[in-house]
Amino acid sequence: MRSVYSDQTSLLLAIDCIIFGFDGEALKLLAIQRGMEPYKGNWSLPGGFVKLEESVETAASRILKDLTGLDGIYMEQMHVFSDPNREEKKRVVSTAFFALIDIQKYQKQLTNEYHPQWFSFNELPPLILDHDEMVKMAKEKLRYKAALHPLLFELLPGKFTIPQLQHLYEQVYNNTFDKGNFSKKLLSTGLLLKLKEKDKLSSKKGAFYYKVDKKKYTAGLKSFLNFVHKPTLK
């Protein structure tokens, strides 16, 4: 009996991961050197193909674990890239995910197999295929989401100062925020727990460390907090 799908053209389903990190100074993107032809040796987003037994979410989690060695990374499906001509020799549809990780936490877990490297957004190398378009869309999505939800905390270590957090927001939005207003807005959310320790490396007076109230943070991811009021994007 002839299959109802026998006349259909097959295609490959890929995953591409836009992985954001923050090293305390700059918002960064993780790229790898492609290990196969075409484009072997060129810079690429981490990715792979969906196996027959996998969902796209399971495949993305597997790819990220293979690269970082850890589970539980914040990850979100972003967009499906399906231009018929995005690859030359085979029809490949890609589902793009963006992920947020603390660079310091995952640095030792990164496998050297694909020569991964963190790049500042001001110094990104050309990426293969439509990966530059994916990165641009991911940053726009991150800006939109971060204005409403506290997900940028995923980029920070377990304890941090408010100046460090403000610097992260300024990196994401390419903008400068008023110190007093930013601190007031942030503390009013009730998401932060003040610690007794101070960071005295940045100034003589020092700035108190804070950590995230995990219960309120989880609830905050599902609510609209309006962290950034009408930011000017550049």
- Report H helices in 116-203: 131-148, 162-173, 179-188
User: Residue 92: beta bridge partners?
Assistant: 12
Q: 58-97 burial by CB neighbour count: b if 16+ within 10 A, else e?
A: ebbbbbbeebbeeeebebeebbebeeeeebeeeebbbbbb
Domain ranges of the chain: 12-137, 151-220
Residue scoring higher pLDDT (230 or 222) = 222
pLDDT of residue 115: 81
Question: Per-residue pLDDT for 155 more than 60?
Answer: yes
Alpha-carbon gap, residue 11 to 9, rounded angstroms: 7
Q: What is the pTM of this model?
A: 0.87
Question: Between 28 and 70, where is the model more confident?
Answer: 28
Q: Which fold has domain 12-137?
A: Nucleoside Triphosphate Pyrophosphohydrolase (3.90.79)
90-104, 153-167, 197-211, 219-233, range with the lowest pLDDT: 219-233
* Average pLDDT in the chain: 86
pLDDT band at 185; cut points 50, 70, 90: confident
- Of 1.10.10.10, 3.40.50.10860, 3.40.50.1820, 3.30.390.50, the CATH number of 151-220 is 1.10.10.10
pLDDT bucket at 221, cuts 50 / 70 / 90: low
CA distance 189 to 162: 13
Contact 197, 57 (CB under 8 A): no
| 172 pLDDT higher than 60 | yes
Structure confidence by residue, pLDDT tens digits, 79-110: 999 999 998 888 999 999 999 988 887 766 67
